[in-house]
Amino acid sequence: MRSNLIQRLFAAAIAIPLLLALLYLGPPWGWAVFLAVATSVGALELFGMTHPEDRPSQVSGLAMTLVVYGVLWRWGTDPRALLVLLLSLPIAGMLLTLARLGDINSAALRVAAATFGPLYLGGGMAALALLRRDAGDDGPGFVVLALTLSWFSDTGAYFAGRFLGKHKLYEAVSPKKTIEGAIGGLVFAVLGALVGHFLYLRSLPALDAIVLGVVAGALGQAGDLGESLLKRSVNVKDSGGIIPGHGGILDRVDALLVTATLTYFYILFWWQH
């Protein structure tokens, strides 16, 4: 565990300054391109789990995920584009499975995965890209807020669970997670949101920061559990090994997909600027 923590801290020390430089100094499209690359890696991890040993289906799943990402980036606020996207994905998922039938006993699950996966990953990562673009001058700050809600929650849950954890949270899905860890994660998420309000995002009211911290912190942990459920169902420990000490891309963005989406909903429907 100590070795894993050191690896995590070392990876973060390298990655965080590079991410902040791209986020604050680069154009919105540069951030979007970076996220598209990360989305591609995550899609290969995701469909590698749901469609094992079927490279054509994995590549098709990657393509569908990038289509979702691209449509949301280009037409994310156009109801017609969103309607076409939502109605087309189930058809595409079914056609993909018909073309790559494989084991008939898992066909229904693969149809569901091919429909859900692109929305889950492509949509969540697109929300993180749209935060940078659509929130104006505060765009980078809102991206950092979404990252903070995810990272602070994960960190709080890790240490609270490590030192205080006694009661299992959801043992069938994630045996190591505890109720005490979940509470610690929620407290840290609220603290992270308040840090955002006071340090780099003054356009975010304190009350909004607290509410967002509670909602996104709680549902972000549910997103973490959701990815654990997926991995456990296909009997893998990590989605990949691209990040030392952290596993794969999916292992790092499971909560972020939720916090980014909720933060984007906030700026779309509630934020006053």
Q: Give residue-wise pLDDT tens across range 99-157.
A: 999 999 999 999 999 999 999 999 999 999 999 999 999 999 999 999 999 999 999 99
What local confidence, expressed as pLDDT, does residue 183 receive? 96
Q: Provide the 3-class DSSP secondary structure of residue 175.
A: strand
Only one residue has tokens 């549902």, namely: 219
Q: Is 240 helix (H, G, I), strand (E, B) or coil?
A: coil
Q: Per the structure, how many domains does the chain have?
A: 1
**Mean pLDDT score, 227-238:** 90
Please state, in angstroms and rounded to a whole number, the distance separating the CA atoms of residues 237 and 124. Answer: 22
3-state class (DSSP) for residue 174: strand
Hey, is 176 helix, strand or coil? strand
How confident is residue 82, by pLDDT bands cut at 50, 70 and 90? very high
Q: Band of the pLDDT at 247, cuts 50, 70, 90?
A: confident
pLDDT at 1 over 60: no
Percent of the chain with pLDDT over 90: 84
Kindly indicate the confidence band of residue 272, based on its pLDDT and cuts at 50, 70 and 90.
Answer: confident
Q: What is the pTM of this model?
A: 0.92
- Domain residue limits at 170: 2-269
- Cα(246)–Cα(37) distance, integer angstroms: 18
Helices (H), the chain: 2-25, 28-50, 55-75, 79-99, 107-117, 124-134, 139-164, 179-199, 206-233, 249-253, 256-269
Residue with tokens 């596993």: 247
Each residue's pLDDT tens digit, 166-220: 999 999 999 999 999 999 999 999 999 999 999 999 999 999 999 999 999 999 9
